[in-house]
Every structure is written in C-alpha cells, then in structure tokens.
Structure 1
Amino acid sequence: MPPRLRATLPCLTAAALFALALSPAPVAAEPRATSDTPLALTPPMGWNNWAHYMCDIDEAKVVANADALVSTGLAAKGYDTVTVDDCWMTKSRNARGDLVVDTAKFPRGVAWLGEYLHAKGLKFGIYQDAGSLTCEKYPGSGAPEGGGADHYARDARQFASWKVDYVKMDGCNLWVPEGRTKEQAYRDAYNAVAKALRDSGRDMVLSASAPAYFQQGEWGGSDWHKVLGWVGETGQLWREGKDIKVYNPAAPATSRWSSVLGNYGYNRWLGRYAGPGNWNDPDFLIAGSPGLTAAESRSQVALWSMMAAPFILSSDVSKLTPAGLAALGNTRLIALDQDPMGRQGAVVSSNATFEILVRPLANGDRAVAVLNRSANTRDIRVPLDEIGLNDCTADAQDLWSGARTEVSDALTGKLAGHDTAVWRLSPRGCSEAVPTGQIVGDGARCADGANTSGVGAVVMAGCTGAPDQRWFLGDDSRLRLAGECLSAGEDGLVELADCAPANSGQPGQSWSHRRDGTLVEEAGGLCLTAPARAATPDAPAERLRLTPCGEHRVDQAWSLPV
C-alpha cells in the first residue's frame, strides 16, 4: 500500500506556534564560547578519519582528504572542519604532562597541520577522551582509575595553542568515584571539559560522546534519557549511540545499510533536544563509500538532513562514487540540513515499508521525506489533504532533481528500494498549521485509538501509519484523534472523549509536552504512561494510563509530530 499520513503544513500561524510550544523549543546552547558568541548555530559539517581509516591515520592521509574536500567543491559547500580522530599521539605524556604528537605519523606536528588547514580555508578538529585513556588506550584527559589529577585544563590550553577549532571528546575509560553514579561521573567530567574549553582563550566547538555510553537499544534507558537532558549544557553536538559501521578493506563490499538504519533509528525520536547550538549526532556520513548503494547513499543524506544532523564525512574523499558525491554535494539538501530554524524533523507516519518525516523550516516551508525500507521499487502517493493541505495548492520542489511542480492533489512517484524522496513544500492559500501524525512511545510503539479494549480506549500498538494513529496537535493544548480528545478517564486510564467546548474549563483534556519527553495532563499534573510491552505477540493490548511523573522514565517519554 502507498504511504499515507495526515498533517497540516501551511505557514507558521497561531496553531503552528502552539505546536512549537507543545513540542518544546530547544534550550539555548550552552556553554557559550570564550567570545560569548554561541557556537554551531547550524549543524557542523566536515570530515573525520575514523569510519574509514580508524587508527591507520597519518599526516599524508589527512592532507590528502583535506585537499580532496577543496578540489571536489565540498569544502566550498560547507564541509569545512577536518578532524583527526584517535591514535594521533604517543602512548605517554611528556615530563610536563603535555600530550605528545606521534611524529612518525605526523612528522611536522599537528600545529603545522592546523596551519595547513587554516590556509586552505578549513577548520581544525582533534580527538580526545574524557576518561583516563582513549578508546585505543592513548592518554586521555580524565583522572586516572582510583583518583588523581585530571588534564582537562592542560589539554584545552594545548589545543588552543594549536589553534584547534573543534574537539571530539570521547567517553572511554572514565573513572567513577565511590559515591557517584556512572551518570553523575560523566556529567562531572563533561562539565569540566566544557569549562576547560571556555577558559582556554579560544572558541572550540565541543562534540560530546557522553550519551553513547548509556544507550540501551533504540528507545534507551532512564540514564540515557537523563544524559540527553544535560549534555547540551556541555557541548554543541553529541553522539547518542552506536558508531556507524566502519569500512573493512578486507571485505569492501560488505553492506553497511543496516548500520545507517540503526543510527537513524535511535536518533529520529530525539528532536526535542535539537536546536541552534545543540545537535543530535547519529554519527558519520558514509554516503558514496563502499558498503552503500547509490540509493542508500541518497537515503543517508536525506535522512540526516531531515534530522538536522551534523554532516561529517568519514571516507576516502578522493574515491567517493559519482552518485555519492552528487548526493553529498546537493546544495538543496545541504540547505535543508542547515536551515536556521534548527528544528529536527519528526516521523509522522511509519509502517514496515514506508516512513514519512516532516520538518518545519525557517521561512514557513515544510520538508517532507519518504523512506522506502523495502528492497523493491514502490509507488508512493502522499495526498495533500493527508498532510493537512486542504483546499489549497503547494509549490513542491523535488530536492534531488530540483524540479518544481504545482501540486493540488498528491505527491506521487516511484521510489527505488532503500531510497528516500524529499520535497520542499511552499503552501499557498492554506489554513493554519496543525502538526499531525504518530505519538510514539516506549519501544517505538504508537498510541492507538483502536477500540481493542473498549469504546474510547487508547492502547499501545505497533506503528502502522493508519488513521487510528493519526493525532492532531491543536492550538488549544489538546490532542485529537478522529475528532475526539485525549482525556483523563476513570481509574487513571486515558480515553478518547468528546472535546469540551472552548473555554469551558473542563479539566483533563489539556496537555503539555516537556523537554524530557513527558506528556503531562495539566489539571492533574500526571504523566501519560505506556503499558509494559506484552510478553507474547497475541497478548491483548493494554491501555495507556496517567501515573505520577518519574525521573526520566522510558515509559513516560514521547515523540510528537512537528
């Protein structure tokens, strides 16, 4: 079946502004730079060696890839930060406690490398670790196991002296002092890193890896959500989960597609944390590299751009496929990724075959993407009235081809297996925007209004994109499905009920979506809570309830459409 969804995508008017409140605005980026100017107001772009070379890195390879960024035109399109990952240093510090560059790999030193990059109009990034050792067992910045002095301030000053612009701070081998939890130890460490960079005298973007050390599956655990809540106080971007699958030169044809989908999977629900100066990072772009087809390369670029993800390549830039280079260099997709509003797109409809994402843009346009998860070419048809464009026309631009059409019926076409279509819609003569689509919770399941447990029941079910999972975020703090309102019922249950007249004062139908993902029923102050996952596939669906709000409970975190 073709994908179907309902959402309203006109200009940012009253309802759209309400939706921005219901799905909370990102917190201002912290920390600020030493010049008191916010950093990374759009997602960082550039290159890093890790997913292609790992520790097999040296001056010649970095220089060659930097030169290739320039010669291919990618640098001029924004891919301007060249970062050297782990293994650039020797296995011990010098007598002063400074890090020592491995001159067998970098004979002219990394300070020279920074000068070379800056002369090319590029920025210089470097890797370190918040623990006592890096992941490959080189000296880290953190305190040694058992306690002692850290090197955060010393290393930050050393990086500043080398004119570093960007620091990737990993989280291996981090000591947890007695009396502190792992989560508390990581918070202390990354706050110390952030302070050291602020005090260094040079503006350096911080890529923090803290959340990746707490990930437990796609939906994550309580500590993962807790770390995601504070990591934006330390860095401008952060890795939340697994590394992208690295290139294997012994088996270059090995598919890496499942890794792309896996990293997209954990990142797609976290839009509430993203905004100018704070970015969710699902790891490197490997489009155009071995292990992805042309369609899969296009999909990664499209999905990362819809998620406002950093565009950081990890490849041999000189050997990118023509199709991969075209996808990575597509200025329309780059502009989408770099949109100054900084809102991450949301999955508004999904099933086993198709996934539809919508992203609001700074000028009032909306981007719409359709991912074909299947291996076969499929017909797609997204009627305008099912994306909320009722009785109006949209100017639609296909961001791959650049072709523009006037659409008054539906977005249509054929979509190859593993490919993703992307349009930019400029609605004309439309009513107010009402974000519409799935409400997704624990286990990437959907709030479902099917009457499986009684009239008006709301249960959790696998996501299908069907009308009984199509919620409307109204301009009155209400959540509607099929014309009825999500309401507090008896015995702590929630239900679909007639919407009370406006300004009636009837409690139980007003909802607030907080930054931690909770959906709070405003009158009672209780949180919408997903039932436990069924032990067997044929077990009856359990109803959603209102329960006291806990601290970063995974069954109380929700992703809403935008």
Structure 2
Amino acid sequence: MFFLTLLAFAVGCQAKANANTPQMGWNSWNTFKLNFNESILEKTADLLVSTGLRDAGFNYLIIDDGWQAATRAEDGRQQVNATKLPNGIAPIAKYAHERGLKIGIYSDAGIYTCGFQPGSWGYEELDAATYAQWGIDYLKYDNCGSFQAGTQSPPERFSKMRDALVASGRDIFYSLCEWGHQFPWYWADQIGQSYRMSGDITAIFSDTGKDCACKTAYCLNTGYAGCSVLTIIRKMREIAPFSKPGSFADMDMLEIGNGNMTLHQQRTHMSFWAALKSPLIIGADISKLSKESLSVLKNKNIIQISQDSLGKAALFVPELSVEKVKQVWAGDLSGGRTVVLLLNELNSTQNFELLVKALPALNSRETWKVEDVWSKEVIKVKGNYTVAVETHETKVLVFSRN
C-alpha cells in the first residue's frame, strides 16, 4: 500500500518554489528551542546583515517551533503567542524583508508540533493561506505530531501541505522535516525542495556509540535524536546519490559555534554539508559566534561549492576509504572541476595517498591544478598525490585542468 501511495504522488504536482542550489539561513531551534521572542528575531536579522552572513548567502531567517499560541482561534486560524511576539508574525516578516532577508516559519504534519503547539494536520489550506498573508517565504514542516495522524503515510500528510502551499498563491519554499522516516529520498522530490535524512543533530563531532542508535540510513524508526556530525556524514554514504537540484538531502542545522568543536572539526562539518549539498542553516546564537566560527561559516570558496550550479552532491569513494579511519568523497563541479574530500577520523595525523585514477572524472595521465580550499594553497598534480591530514581535519581539494 505504501508504494502504491508513492506511485500516486509521483504523478502529482510539485511544490511551486524552485531550489537549484541548497537553501542557506538561520534557524532559532538549536540555540533557543521554544524560548525566543520578537527582540531576539529582530536582533538576529540585524546580525545576519552586520556580520556579512547575509551577503555570504545566509538569507533565510527561520522561526522554529514555539511561535504559536496554545490553541487556535474560533475560526480555526493559528494564533501567535502574544507574550513572545506581541506584534505578530507579519511585522517580523516585514522587518526581515526590509533587510534583504527572507522569512521562514514552522509547523507540523500532525495534530501537535514537537513543542505540543497546534500542528497543521486538517488545517493545511487555512494555514498555508495564513502564512502567505503574513509574507512567509519558507516553511519547515515537522513530523512530531504524526502519532495523532498515523493512519496516513508521510507522503500523504506532507503532500497535503505541498498542495496547500501551491494554492496559497505565494512562492513558499517547502522544507520537509520527518527525520528520514519511510525513506524520503525515494519520494520527497515530488513534494518539497529539501528533506531531512536523519534525526536531530547534536553539537558533538565524533560518534560515541551513544549518539543516535540509528547509525545507517535504513534502520527504520529507532534513535532519531542526538546524532553526531560523523554519524550523519556516515549515513549520507547511502543517501547522497539521491540528492539532486530541487530535492536536497538535509543533514540538519549547522552546529558551528555550538559545543566545543575544534577548528578542524568545524571545518569538517562545514565542508561536508557544503559538498554533499545539504542546506546550510546556522543553528548558533550569532551574537556569540567567535571570529573563528564566523570565518568558517563565511568561507567564500566552501560556499561556492555548496552553491555550485550543477547542484550535485559528492559521493563516497569506498575503494580509497577505511572504516572509522579515513573517508574519501568526490563529486562533480561546474566547469569540468572535481571536488575531493579527505577526512581523517583518527586522533593523530595520517597521510592520504590519493590515487587519482580511482577518482571519478579524473585522468591520472593529465596534469591537474589542485586548490586546497581551506589553506588556499595551489599545486600541480599528475598521477598519485600524498597529503598529510591532521586529526579530524578534512582536506577539501578542487581539481581543475591545468
């Protein structure tokens, strides 16, 4: 029955917004959870501009769970929490738009949201019309309340909001957040522009054995919360081939600036989210970002990889990788270039012997110009290439013809 449902949706309409490259922005959840207010949102909008993050591409200000009142109005419309947002959503949308930003909001494909606020199940058309009236540009649509609507599959529930957004008359980006439940990489391209492929990220770099019990893409419904950066990267080995322009696998928000990650770990985090074409959504309090974290987020060359016009995710190269020791990924970029990622998982420096002939699209008999994106070093390579990679560092190498 589930796959018959998928077939029915495969011939249906897609959400109107286009996404040739992954979305970029900021989301309130990882830092503030339910505890934000109008002042925090306006301050963050101003910081996106003053720090240069907006000009680097981070142009969505996304209000996550907690903006709603506890109950709907008598006419069924969602109400705004008057304590947190006394002037409502529309003025915040205007504030963001006046600063060259777009505005995002949150709801759930169930009776309740994750914070037990009213979800949108059964109210899709009314909610989409309300969001359009407020000037919303982006909807993050969660799955926590699905236990109240469990008789309907995720493709059915999420497509109802897709249709409602199209009918609203406003171009609203649609970000599915159902944690990889029932394998959205097989069907989400017919519904939204991005889809979460795993449980919630945590500000921990290395998998400890205790982070999300679901450590592969296909372990069904166990252990969705608290996934480390490395666990999510490993999951993408199975999922990255499905990612494509208009349907990007979402590895969850960036934890850069949160927790105690080293500079190498933060760079690895940013490198993989960019090269695997995950949305780049900042989850930190921008007012508390260190210069180091801000420089990682604003790295122009890494962002160019994320926003490359081909929109193709890098893929895992198992022949050159060793489990829990090192990973090699490679992917096509525009202009006939290739990006290669070398990740050292060990707690000591190791040398990578890069067999150029084993990499897609590279000819070992040619001489290649190789740019190290983080160090900005440029060298010429023909044949094999050996490079030292430090603890938890990822070398991001862009190969182009000499």
1:333: how far off? 0.5
When residues 62 and 277 of structure 1 are mapped into structure 2, their CA distance, relative to the original with a 3 A threshold, is: same
Amino acid at match of 1:122: L
When residues 328 and 30 of structure 1 are mapped into structure 2, their CA distance, relative to the original with a 3 A threshold, is: farther
CA distance in 2 between partners of 1:278 and 1:28 (Å): 16
Unpaired runs of 5+ residues, structure 2, are 1-9, 208-227
1:283: how far off? 0.1
Q: Of residues 384, 388, 394 in structure 2, which corresponds to 1:414?
A: 388
The match for 2:289 is 320
The match for 1:230 is 187
Amino acid at match of 2:378: R
Amino acid at match of 2:188: V
1:256: how far off? 4.5
| RMSD of aligned Cα (Å) | 2.0
CA distance in 1 between partners of 2:330 and 2:180 (Å): 29
Q: Deviations over 1:337-380 (max 9, x none)?
A: 11111111111032131100001112111000101111212223
Amino acid at match of 1:335: Q
User: Does the 8 Å CA contact 2:275/2:305 hold for their aligned counterparts?
Assistant: yes
1:49: how far off? 1.1
Q: Of residues 270, 276, 284 in structure 2, which corresponds to 1:307?
A: 276
- Give the aligned length: 368
1:384: how far off? 2.8
User: Does the 8 Å CA contact 1:175/1:185 hold for their aligned counterparts?
Assistant: no
CA distance in 1 between partners of 2:312 and 2:180 (Å): 25
Q: How is 1:386-465 mapped onto 2 (pairs within 5 angstroms)?
A: 386-387=358-359, 388-428=362-402
Question: Does 2:330 align with 1:347?
Answer: no
1:32: how far off? 4.2
CA distance in 2 between partners of 1:230 and 1:334 (Å): 27
User: Does the 8 Å CA contact 1:29/1:277 hold for their aligned counterparts?
Assistant: no
1:66: how far off? 1.8
Q: Of residues 146, 149, 158 in structure 2, which corresponds to 1:190?
A: 158
1:278: how far off? 0.8
The match for 1:69 is 48
1:402: how far off? 2.1
CA distance in 2 between partners of 1:236 and 1:197 (Å): 12
Q: How is 1:145-184 mapped onto 2 (pairs within 5 angstroms)?
A: 150-174=122-146, 184=152
Amino acid at match of 2:196: R
Question: Does 2:36 align with 1:57?
Answer: yes
The match for 1:92 is 71
Q: Of residues 328, 333, 339 in structure 2, which corresponds to 1:361?
A: 333
For the residue of structure 2 that corresponds to 1:67, the secondary structure is helix
Q: How is 1:372-383 mapped onto 2 (pairs within 5 angstroms)?
A: 372-383=344-355
More relative contact order in 1 or in 2 (CA 8 Å, sep 6+)? 1
The match for 1:108 is 87
- Is the deviation greater in 344-353 or in 411-420? 411-420
- Is the deviation greater in 109-118 or in 343-352? 343-352
Question: Does 2:14 align with 1:31?
Answer: yes
User: Does the 8 Å CA contact 1:289/1:321 hold for their aligned counterparts?
Assistant: no
Q: Of residues 100, 109, 113 in structure 2, which corresponds to 1:130?
A: 109
1:107: how far off? 2.0
Amino acid at match of 1:326: S
The match for 1:286 is 255
1:318: how far off? 2.0
For the residue of structure 2 that corresponds to 1:426, the secondary structure is strand
CA distance in 2 between partners of 1:228 and 1:276 (Å): 13
CA distance in 2 between partners of 1:49 and 1:256 (Å): 21
User: Does the 8 Å CA contact 1:28/1:276 hold for their aligned counterparts?
Assistant: no
Amino acid at match of 2:14: P
The match for 1:264 is 233
CA distance in 2 between partners of 1:98 and 1:58 (Å): 21
CA distance in 2 between partners of 1:293 and 1:89 (Å): 36
CA distance in 2 between partners of 1:399 and 1:28 (Å): 41
CA distance in 2 between partners of 1:127 and 1:185 (Å): 20
- Is the deviation greater in 264-273 or in 77-86? 264-273
CA distance in 1 between partners of 2:118 and 2:142 (Å): 12
When residues 288 and 409 of structure 1 are mapped into structure 2, their CA distance, relative to the original with a 3 A threshold, is: farther
Unpaired runs of 5+ residues, structure 1, are 1-26, 143-149, 215-223, 247-254, 429-562
Amino acid at match of 1:411: Y
After TM superposition, the score normalised by the length of structure 2 is 0.87
- Is the deviation greater in 305-314 or in 61-70? 61-70
